[in-house]
Amino acid sequence: MQRSSLQIAKHTLTKKDVDQGNTWINSGTSFGIILTGPVVLLFTEHWRLSYLFFAIIAVIVLIWNYYSIPSSNKQKHVLDQKLHWLSIITKAKFLLIASFIIGMSSSIYWTFSRSYLTTVYTMTTTESVVFWIIMGIAGVLGGVAGGFIQKIGLTWSYRLLLFLMVLSILTVSSHLTVYISAALFGSTYIFLTGLFIVWGTRIFNTLPALGVSLSFLALGIGQSVGSFFAGKTIELTTYPFSFVLFAGLGLIGFFVPTDKKKAL
C-alpha cells in the first residue's frame, strides 16, 4: 500500500507538489495517535477490544484502497530488473544510518514517556492520555514537511528537526514543559519521518517505495533495539538519566551527511 501511495503521488502530482504530497501521506500516523487517546479511555478495562477496533479500521481502509487506487504497470520494468542490493545499500547508507539513529533515540519517548509521567510525576491516566493526544495533534504539522524542505533544503531541515527532537526528549524531564515536550516531539518526529520519505524518493527516483521501505526498516530496527536498551537503562538508573542519555544518542545524527546521489 505504501508503494501504491508513493507511485500515485509521483504520477499524479506536479514535481513541485510531490514532496508535500508524500509527507501528508506520512502525517496519517498523527491522526491515529489522536484517535488512540479517546480509545484508551473508552476501552480501559477491555483493552483487547481496542486492538480489534483498529484491526477493523485497517481492513476497511484496505478494502477502500483496493477499489479506489487504480492498478499501474508503469514501474513494472523497474521491478523486474535484478536489484544489486549491495550497491543500493551503499548508496543509501547515510539515509539508513540517520533512520536507525532517529529510531533508536526516539524509542525511549514512544515506549516510556507515559510511564515516566505516571511514575515520576504521578500523573493520572487521563493526564497522560492528554499528553499523548497533544503529541498526535502536533504531529499533523508534519504534513507540511515537504514544503518546508523545499524552502530551506534537505540538509538544513534535517539538522534543525533533529535538534528540536533532541530538545523535546530533554524537556520531558521538566514538569513545567511536559506538554510543550509532547507538542515538540510529535511534530518533529513526523517531520523527520516525512523528511526520510523525501530523502528516499530523491535517491531512488524511479523506484521511490524501495528507498522509503529501507529507511523505515532501519527506523523500525532502531526503535526495537532502542526500546530494549532503554528499558534496561531505566531499570539500572533512573528515568531522567535515561532520557538524557537517549537524547545524547540523537546528537550522533548531526554527523550524518545528507547523501544526494541517486541509486535508481
Q: Domain ranges in the chain?
A: 2-255
Compute the mean pLDDT over every residue in the chain, rounded to the nearest whole number. Answer: 80
Query: Cα 35 to chain center, whole Å?
Result: 17
**Which pLDDT value is given to residue 47?**
65
pLDDT at 161 over 60: yes
- What digits encode the pLDDT tens for the residues 60-70? 888 887 777 66
pTM above 0.75, yes or no: yes
For residue 67, what are the contacts with CB-CB under 8 A and spacing of at least 6? none
Question: What average pLDDT does this structure show over 216-235?
Answer: 95
pLDDT at 1 over 90: no
| Per-residue pLDDT band at 53 (split at 50, 70, 90) | confident
The alpha carbon torsion through 139, 230, 154, 148 (nearest 10 deg) reads: 10
196 versus 53: the higher-pLDDT residue is 196
**Which pLDDT value is given to residue 181?**
94
pLDDT at 117 over 80: yes
**Which pLDDT value is given to residue 41?**
64
CATH for 2-255, among 1.20.1250.20, 3.30.1360.70, 3.40.50.300, 1.10.3720.10? Answer: 1.20.1250.20
